[in-house]
Structure 1
Amino acid sequence: MVTGAGNDESRIVLTKPVALEGESDIDYTAPNPLQLVLSLFKNVMPGSDLSRFQLPPIFNIPKSQLQCFGESVYCIATDMLSRCNGGKSPHDRFIAVTAWSISTLRPLIFGVAPYNPILGETHHVSSGNLNVLLEQVSHHPPVSALHATDERENVEMIWCHHPSPKFHGTSVEAEVLGKRQLKLLNHGETYVMNSLNLLIRFLPGPGTDWVGKVKIQCQETGLEAELCFRSNSFLWRRGNHRSVKGKIFDSSSLQTVYEIDGHWDRTVGVKDISNGKLTIIYNAKEVISGLTAPIVKDPKEVWPTESAMVWSDVSQSILSKDWEKAREAKKVVEEKQRELLRERDSRGETWIPKHFTVSHSKEGGWDCSPIQKWVPPAPIVVPL
């Protein structure tokens, strides 16, 4: 944990990113988490939309969902983006992008979740030459935008996420709508991909996993990938746990050029169909192991909308396991949000994002475009 110096209003609380199991030095889970979770949903009807569902702090980890999205980009032990940019051929780069997309997944903890970001909340962090900026551009429905740039590598990322969680009786599944773009500007290539769904399973055994299918497309090279991510089956077959299988193919001929197989929390390999050669393209222990928390480089430059500042009192109370204080602190944050909404409504004002332009259509859903070409360096940095 890192706490910025200053009075209560300027306190900044940052914690280690979510990494592989067994690496966390803090236990966030409450006793009997399954019993607590089931009691939480006892009055919720199957099929209910949970996007407005408020969790008590005992079910929260001490960070916002914006921070979790950001960590999947800037908290990484291996420079996967440089590999994407450094690929000598379109095939090399596409394989590297596929590996990078897998690297954005993190194992999750059953029974706890990050805070729902408030409207206008931001998270701004730098890791080396990579500058990352996120903003919560809509509260109901929740929509998060991410812009990340590396001027040295000439790489840009633009994400737009709209989670839509629903209760299904024995599970909760959050469909993460929106798209992710990775632009390798030196090569004139844009890779577009979707996000996986988050599955929280209560019965027959509790667990939290990423599931579904990811499609990666590069229009400039004509290459595509289809990846299928699976969780444990009801028969508890270990082989399916966090497995990923798929293929990379030429979109014009539909000819498969590579097959992908492995487990995203262990290793993933790619097999060249032309010669049968198998290469490991992703090793979770090397990429998302031993991660450290960001630190505050310049407290005076941290925006008041920064996630680590907005939720600092709640996070500090959770870390201290002072649940009554955490409830009060969370209530203060949420009530301030409601008060600002009432003030805007009374003046007939519509809130406008500061860092993104946002659009929505029935066909395409939500779309976010950054206002600035390059993300500036941040006052919060990842130690290298």
Structure 2
Amino acid sequence: ILQRKKPDPMNKSKLAPTPTPAGDTYKGWVFKWTNYIKGYQRRWFVLSNGLLSYYRTQAEMGHTCRGTINLATANITVDDACNFMISNGGAQTYHLKASCEVERQKWITALELAKAKAARMQAESGAGSQNAEFQSAMRMLGSKVEDLSTCNDLISKHGSALQRSLSELDNLTLTGEAGEKIRQVTERATLFRITSNAMINACRDFLSMAQTHSKRWQKALQAEREQRVRLEETLEQLAKQHNHLERAFRGAAQANASADSKMSDDDDNEFFDAMEEAPEFITVPADPQFHKRSSSNVSSFNSEICQDDQSSPSQELVPLKKRRTRIPDKPNYSLNLWSIMKNCIGKELSKIPMPVNFNEPISMLQRLSEDLEYHELLDKAAKSHNSLEQMCYVAAFCVSAYSTTVYRTGKPFNPLLGETYELDRQRESGYRSLCEQVSHHPPAAAHHAISDRGWTLRQEITVASKFRGKYLSIMPLGTIHAIFEKSNNHYTWKKVTTTVHNIIVGKLWIDQSGEIDVVNHTTGDRCHLKFAPYSYFSRDVARKVTGVVMDKTGKAHYVLSGTWDEKMEFSRVMQSSRGGENGTEGRQKTVYQTLKAKELWRRNPLPDGAETMYYFTALALTLNEPEEGVAPTDSRLRPDQRLMEDGRWDEANAEKQRLEEKQRTARREREREALNQRSSSTSEEGVPHENYKARWFEHTEDKITGEAVHVYKGGYWEAKDQGKWEDCPDIF
């Protein structure tokens, strides 16, 4: 039932970095198979002078080469649309995968041309060496023949002298026996001279024949070499023509696609898999005949998306303040982690005194405000007239909040009780955000954001975290609310569990896992999102997220797919049915017939040098930027956090201890006041609860979820306009 269609190379080529040719050099990113644990890893490949070398990063090109293969004797084979293999007879084998079919074809063409040139150079050098060796052998044979000729002359000379001597002896009167001996010697000398002459003649004939045939062989070899050069030049010309035709075809395809988008006929719309190997369901291309019957609905859907995606930049508010783009680089201080962690196993992380070495120079309130990194998704949702389509944007916003955590292994500062943080982007982006730490044990922060573009976001998050020895689990507790004024739709959802691995040994890395239900309490629509946990043995894409948008009757309308650190796409469901492979616990997977996927959200690239700035995004770099007129409890004014950002970590640790002791003293004072007033109940240990009340949020019961939450009661922005902060506590 699962029918797959090969990915469109025209679309993927826009996403993958194109290898850059420079003369005889070809460079680019290619995925290389490493092992069954890590699978394919991205490597930087360089093709130059008939040698294919690879590096982990471009920076390694100057000092560390991870491997090189000579293409002159290599075999290049193509496995499928994106995979290809290079082997030199078993000693070295590279299993490679390009980002798309077009990129693979470019690499194959470059490799074949480089292989032909390398083979030609090797043949020329080999022919030259063979020719030199042949000439040397001929000269040696000639010298040997000359030696034999000299020996022949000497033999002839000495043989003649010997024969004369024997003739003189023959003329003497000797006995019969002596004469017989002399005749035998004379015959043998004559035979020796005849044999030596025959040997010399045979050697001379051999040398003459070798010289004659060598000239003939050299002419044949030269003709073969010239013919091969002509064939290689023809092949190279054909490859260039192929690339030219390929580029022309892509241009024509894009022109046709743009022309077709202006036509009302939907018969040419493309259908394909919205998602491959979804864990709970299967997607297949929809039947084009079914699509014809639903052309009016699909046309309105496509036009609505296009209008939303092609909004004019002139409608956006122009920034009036230039924000900073850098912070001081992170110092390289060493610290014995185990000496701190060995006594913390099983304890609540918020109750453990931690040095700033494990922190990043922002507070949890600022980290909470980073959820608005992709606020434009809520802007698009506010413009949407379809509640199901609006649900897709809200779900994408829910996933986008985790994209900033992929490299962020540092721990934010725990906010002090009463600490606040404002994020005023009304002039730039149309929204204002306020966070306040409303409880310390358990730590809880209330957040309220409102936009001029028709949406409100509020949440109260309590973070429960446990250190398990090898990993750290962070469980956000609380509900997030998104309300849209125009449609009066009210959405709620919760966050998934964040896990930090390799706490003691190895490189820290972060994973998100769990399930989220985004619910529209106005219409009853629901979106079920699943964050797949990372597994070394899984063949799925890492950090994968899948989801289905359903109406109140349970009918699926959209399928979501992507990764929480890169992008999310959605596809409209045309039909659904039970069938396909059996899922978990013997249940059958649902088969969805979908239209072509459209991109909902894509992560913004990190700023240059982000690895030295705690991997902060462009928004995170501005969160702790000093700003005038903020409340005296604002996180920007926190001294230990500011000292850490400036790289003065020893002073930051001392200041952090002072602030924590001041906070404990204030808490004990509140408990004494509560005990004296006898207005609060006592806990099981006999210690009265503190009678603390938040300054800008009030404690109430949520009408939607029934939870006890803190809701913004107003007054902060008015107090800021008037500069009246008398009621703010002194916490710093």
Q: CA deviation at 1:205?
A: 5.6
User: Structure 1 residues 215 and 39 mapped into 2: Cα distance closer, same or farther (>3 Å)?
Assistant: farther
User: Structure 1 residues 366 and 286 mapped into 2: Cα distance closer, same or farther (>3 Å)?
Assistant: farther
Alignment match of 1:218 (pick from 497, 520, 523): 520
User: Structure 1 residues 149 and 108 mapped into 2: Cα distance closer, same or farther (>3 Å)?
Assistant: same
Distance of 2:324 and 2:358 partners within structure 1: 16
Contact kept? 1:66, 1:144, Cα under 8 Å: yes
Give the secondary-structure state (helix, strand or coil) at the position aligned to 2:664: helix
Distance of 1:221 and 1:90 partners within structure 2: 8
Residue 417 of structure 2 is matched in structure 1 by: 119
Instruction: Please give the residue correspondences for 1:268-279 in structure 2 after superposition, counting only pairs within 5 Å.
Output: 268-274=568-574, 275-279=594-598
Alignment match of 1:134 (pick from 425, 428, 435): 435
Contact kept? 1:149, 1:375, Cα under 8 Å: no
Alignment match of 1:358 (pick from 687, 699, 714): 699
Distance of 1:324 and 1:208 partners within structure 2: 27
Q: CA deviation at 1:15?
A: 8.0
Q: CA deviation at 1:230?
A: 3.0
Contact kept? 1:110, 1:200, Cα under 8 Å: no
Instruction: Please give the residue correspondences for 1:2-21 in structure 2 after superposition, counting only pairs within 5 Å.
Output: none
Contact kept? 1:126, 1:377, Cα under 8 Å: no
Residue 347 of structure 1 is matched in structure 2 by: 673
User: Structure 1 residues 26 and 201 mapped into 2: Cα distance closer, same or farther (>3 Å)?
Assistant: farther
Q: Do residues 243 (structure 1) and 524 (structure 2) align? A: no
Residue 168 of structure 1 is matched in structure 2 by: 468
Residue 79 of structure 1 is matched in structure 2 by: 376
User: Structure 1 residues 350 and 374 mapped into 2: Cα distance closer, same or farther (>3 Å)?
Assistant: closer
Distance of 2:700 and 2:694 partners within structure 1: 11
Letter in 2 for 1:62: P
Contact kept? 2:406, 2:565, Cα under 8 Å: no
User: Structure 1 residues 260 and 209 mapped into 2: Cα distance closer, same or farther (>3 Å)?
Assistant: same
User: Structure 1 residues 320 and 293 mapped into 2: Cα distance closer, same or farther (>3 Å)?
Assistant: closer
- TM-score if structure 1 supplies the norm length? 0.81
Distance of 2:649 and 2:507 partners within structure 1: 27
Contact kept? 1:166, 1:173, Cα under 8 Å: yes
Contact kept? 2:362, 2:623, Cα under 8 Å: no
* Offset from partner CA, 1:77-117 (integer Å, 9 cap, x none): x6222101001211221111112222222125465211001
Distance of 1:101 and 1:378 partners within structure 2: 30
Residue 92 of structure 1 is matched in structure 2 by: 389
Residue 187 of structure 1 is matched in structure 2 by: 487
Give the secondary-structure state (helix, strand or coil) at the position aligned to 1:118: coil
Distance of 2:643 and 2:631 partners within structure 1: 22
Give the secondary-structure state (helix, strand or coil) at the position aligned to 1:187: coil
User: Structure 1 residues 200 and 37 mapped into 2: Cα distance closer, same or farther (>3 Å)?
Assistant: farther
Q: Do residues 368 (structure 1) and 696 (structure 2) align? A: no
Q: CA deviation at 1:364?
A: 6.1
Distance of 1:117 and 1:297 partners within structure 2: 18
Residue 66 of structure 1 is matched in structure 2 by: 365
- Out of 192-201 and 282-291, give the one that drifted further: 282-291
Q: Do residues 303 (structure 1) and 634 (structure 2) align? A: no
Distance of 1:287 and 1:324 partners within structure 2: 29
Distance of 2:457 and 2:414 partners within structure 1: 22
User: Structure 1 residues 110 and 265 mapped into 2: Cα distance closer, same or farther (>3 Å)?
Assistant: closer
Q: Which has the higher helix share?
A: 2
Q: Do residues 293 (structure 1) and 622 (structure 2) align? A: yes
Distance of 1:279 and 1:256 partners within structure 2: 17
Alignment match of 1:149 (pick from 417, 427, 450): 450
Q: Which has the higher strand share?
A: 1
Contact kept? 1:172, 1:199, Cα under 8 Å: yes
Give the secondary-structure state (helix, strand or coil) at the position aligned to 1:198: strand
Q: Do residues 230 (structure 1) and 541 (structure 2) align? A: no
Contact kept? 1:119, 1:137, Cα under 8 Å: yes
Contact kept? 1:29, 1:112, Cα under 8 Å: no
Letter in 2 for 1:127: R
* Offset from partner CA, 1:181-218 (integer Å, 9 cap, x none): 00001111100010122211116763123322111000
Q: CA deviation at 1:121?
A: 0.5
Distance of 2:602 and 2:716 partners within structure 1: 30
Distance of 1:51 and 1:164 partners within structure 2: 8
* Count of aligned residue pairs for this structure pair: 347
Q: CA deviation at 1:142?
A: 0.3
User: Structure 1 residues 214 and 37 mapped into 2: Cα distance closer, same or farther (>3 Å)?
Assistant: farther
Q: CA deviation at 1:136?
A: 0.5
* Unpaired segments ≥5 residues, structure 2: 1-322, 575-593, 608-616, 675-689, 722-732
Letter in 2 for 1:347: E
User: Structure 1 residues 377 and 40 mapped into 2: Cα distance closer, same or farther (>3 Å)?
Assistant: same
Residue 3 of structure 2 is matched in structure 1 by: none
Letter in 2 for 1:51: S
| CA RMSD, 1 decimal | 3.0
Residue 207 of structure 1 is matched in structure 2 by: 509
Give the secondary-structure state (helix, strand or coil) at the position aligned to 1:351: coil
Moved over 3 A (4+): 24-33, 36-39, 108-111, 237-240, 286-292, 294-298, 363-366, 373-379
Distance of 2:447 and 2:337 partners within structure 1: 30
Residue 337 of structure 1 is matched in structure 2 by: 663
Give the secondary-structure state (helix, strand or coil) at the position aligned to 2:657: helix
The one of the two structures with greater contact order (alpha-carbon pairs below 8 A, sep at least 6) is 1
Distance of 2:401 and 2:717 partners within structure 1: 20
User: Structure 1 residues 96 and 171 mapped into 2: Cα distance closer, same or farther (>3 Å)?
Assistant: same
User: Structure 1 residues 39 and 213 mapped into 2: Cα distance closer, same or farther (>3 Å)?
Assistant: farther
Give the secondary-structure state (helix, strand or coil) at the position aligned to 1:51: helix
Question: Which structure has the bigger radius of gyration?
Answer: 2
Q: CA deviation at 1:321?
A: 2.9
Aligned residues with identical type, % of pairs: 23
Give the secondary-structure state (helix, strand or coil) at the position aligned to 2:534: coil
Give the secondary-structure state (helix, strand or coil) at the position aligned to 1:95: helix
Letter in 2 for 1:116: N
Q: CA deviation at 1:323?
A: 2.4
Letter in 2 for 1:242: R
Q: CA deviation at 1:70?
A: 0.9
Distance of 2:448 and 2:476 partners within structure 1: 17
